Amino acid sequence: MRILLIDLENKDFSYIEDEALRPLYFGGIGLNTYLLFKYTDTKIDPMDRENNIFISSGALAGTIIPSASRSEMTCLSPTGYLGTTNSGGSLGLGIRLCNIDALWIKGRAKHPLYLKIDEKGVLFRDATNIWGKDVFETVDTLKKKEGKDAEVISIGMAGEKGVRYASVQNGYYHSFGRTGTGAVMGSKFLKAVCFKGNGEITVKDKKGFLEISRAIRERIMSSDSLGYTRRYGSMVVSDVYNQMGILPGYNFTKGSIEKWEETRGRRFFEKNFKERDFACVSCPIGCLHWSRVKEGDYAGLETHGLEVTYVLEFGAKLGISDISKILICVELCNRLGMDVISTASVIAYLIELFEKDMVKESDIGFKPMFSDFESISRLIFLIGNKEGIGRILSEGIGSMKKYFTGSEDFACEIKGLEIPVRDPRGRFDTWILGYIINTRGGDHLKIRTPVDALLDFKIDYEYEPLFISEKEMTLLDIPQKVKDKIFDNPPTKIHIPHMAKYGEELLVLFNAFGFCIRPPVLRTIGPSMLSKAFNAMYGYDLNEDVLLEHAERIVNMQHIFNLKRGLTAKAYTFPERFYKEYIEYRGGKRPPLDRMKVKKALIEYFKLRGWDSKAKPKKETLHRLGIDKII
């Protein structure tokens, strides 16, 4: 593998060549995990100059393999734990055309810089003139200077000022959103990185690579989920979440919202805003949307979206009913460079603090209210610029709750990361268990099940029912011995802890290889197909079992990194709201989570991982995975 090591302080660069890493860590999150684990001091502050940033393309990104376009950015997060985030578009290709697999950015510049990278190396450019500009202005300026075809990642004012959940924007609309990588980049005085290479991507077995590419495409295109994913993208779940009562409404106090489908539903969006579909590089699905506001105060606005995360966060968690105003809120976050989920979450938390008289209007300067676009958009601006009350909100809920005694129950974060999109009381399943076991904190994108179905069911905590069709079952690319552990026989239900372990390792492989996780991909592609594509490209002979073992090692390395940062088993829990309060939804009320049953599922997951009840990996686990030789 070829890693470009960049020293910001000395304006110097060099290359590390180590092919032995490729069959063990692949690329993307796999390679980043190894580099973080081995080279980042766990005793430093996240904003310390010694914190490293690692950016890796997926192992198959930039090739003809369908949906392989994604890259990973990793560092010690401002949350205090593992910081890692994934983004698509064409950046993966841009990195590979610079004849590198990854960047390792170290040190701190003496003044604002941006980097121009190509196949020949790195140019260190002065960024004083764009420091203080928003993301869109920055991208416009750098594309004008370096070329329209340059791939640009950059931070906005939020990253410059150290907002703890600042994002790194990939172009205008794609984001390395979660875990505050933008704040770390800003602490290094690094405004942007431009990729403009003309290198080549080589393939060892061209015939075999073409064959597996065709096979992957056929499987993706044959999925029952293709049609609705292409038509609605992630918005396909918007109406269903409301019907099931699992919206994060008004800071997780309301699972369904009246007139949701008529104002924020998928068909309403399609009819009134959607202009056309588009896709990331090499993706045959085309689930992304380009939208236009046709009437009202923001008529003429054209933008990317609507993604369901946007509507669930600003439309449900904050109660904004007008899609045009939701799009404006997202646009503000993109320009300032802030994670949408964390931004909406801290504002929802503040509004509830205000409603409970724990914060005064005089502390804020105005009344923050759910459903009120004016106060919400004003708060976004204040956060991104760290002005007024925005200074406190910029620290994130994990830090904010320390200032407000008695607010812990409704401070909706896990391991310092604000939780998104779905209320756990509405449907406890693999995905929801993933909220508390996720190595980057309360999040929904690093642990998934390839058999998720959008149907309601009675909560069991140990099992969830299996709803997918027989055809979809035949397309599942899961090793048989893993299937035997996850499903009963004949398959009618899913063992949640077993699926959580497998789903976590599957997502490591997807993120390491650069794959999208939309349903048509997740339901049809797995370790067997990935190993064939990887072997054809790089000339190895790895099977599905080896891939899963390597993924298991990567998960454990991330976990051990967090343990070294002070993580304990006590952090593996939901906020108290979910254990104490009923949730209203259109079907009535749902009870709180059963604390003991959640803990039982968690302990079973620990056991499957080879950890003790305190979440510490056992010696035999470290030895089996070879981690004892790395520590």
pLDDT in tens, 484-494: 999 998 899 99
Helix (H) or strand (E) holding 299: none
Looking at residue 315, its pLDDT comes to: 97
Most trustworthy range by pLDDT among 140-144, 272-276, 421-425, 520-524: 140-144
pLDDT category at 322 given cuts 50, 70, 90 is very high
Question: Is there a contact between 63 and 203 (Cβ–Cβ < 8 Å)?
Answer: yes
Looking at residue 333, its pLDDT comes to: 97
Give Cβ neighbours of residue 500 (< 8 Å, ≥ 6 apart).
430, 433, 434, 437, 447, 605
Report whether pLDDT(631) > 80: no
Q: Mean pLDDT throughout 466-494?
A: 91
Q: Mean pLDDT throughout 160-182?
A: 97
d(CA 279, CA 66): 11
- CA torsion sign for 76, 567, 626, 57 is negative
Looking at residue 287, its pLDDT comes to: 85
**Phi, psi dihedrals of residue 115, rounded to the nearest 5°:** -110, 140
Report whether pLDDT(453) > 90: no
Q: Does this model's pTM top 0.75? A: yes
Q: pLDDT digit string (tens) for 100-136?
A: 999 999 999 999 999 999 999 999 999 999 999 999 9
* 3-state SS, residue 615: coil
Q: Mean pLDDT throughout 528-543?
A: 97
d(CA 505, CA 628): 20
Percent of the chain exceeding pLDDT 90 equals: 88
* 3-state SS, residue 334: helix
Question: Is there a contact between 216 and 525 (Cβ–Cβ < 8 Å)?
Answer: yes
Q: Which two tokens stand for residue 107?
A: 């040190």
Q: pLDDT digit string (tens) for 379-409?
A: 999 999 999 999 999 999 999 999 899 999 9
Q: Is the peptide bond before 306 cis (omega within 30 degrees of 0)?
A: yes
pLDDT category at 502 given cuts 50, 70, 90 is very high
Percent of the chain exceeding pLDDT 70 equals: 100
C-alpha angle 423/251/304, rounded to 5°? 85
d(CA 10, CA 97): 25
Report whether pLDDT(611) > 80: yes
Report whether pLDDT(324) > 90: yes
Q: Mean pLDDT throughout 578-590?
A: 93
Looking at residue 558, its pLDDT comes to: 98
Q: Is the peptide bond before 490 cis (omega within 30 degrees of 0)?
A: yes
Residue closest to 301 by CA, chosen among 275, 340, 264, 319:
275
Question: Is there a contact between 422 and 348 (Cβ–Cβ < 8 Å)?
Answer: no
Q: Mean pLDDT throughout 357-367?
A: 96
Q: Mean pLDDT throughout 181-193?
A: 98
Cβ-in-10-Å burial (0-12, 13-18, 19+) of 265 comes to buried
d(CA 499, CA 434): 10
Report whether pLDDT(375) > 90: yes
pLDDT category at 283 given cuts 50, 70, 90 is confident
Looking at residue 280, its pLDDT comes to: 86
Average pLDDT, the chain: 95
pLDDT category at 580 given cuts 50, 70, 90 is very high
Sequence-ordered alpha helix ranges (H) in 442-479: 470-475
CA distances from 3 to 13, 22, 55, 99, 172 (A): 10, 11, 10, 9, 26
CA distances from 210 to 67, 520, 542 (A): 14, 20, 18
C-alpha angle 179/183/188, rounded to 5°? 130
d(CA 576, CA 592): 10
Q: Which two tokens stand for residue 128?
A: 């004083």
| Domains observed in the chain | 2-195 (3.60.9.10), 227-418 (1.10.569.10), 430-573+594-629 (1.10.599.10)
Q: What count of other Cβ atoms lies within 10 Å of the Cβ of residue 510?
A: 27
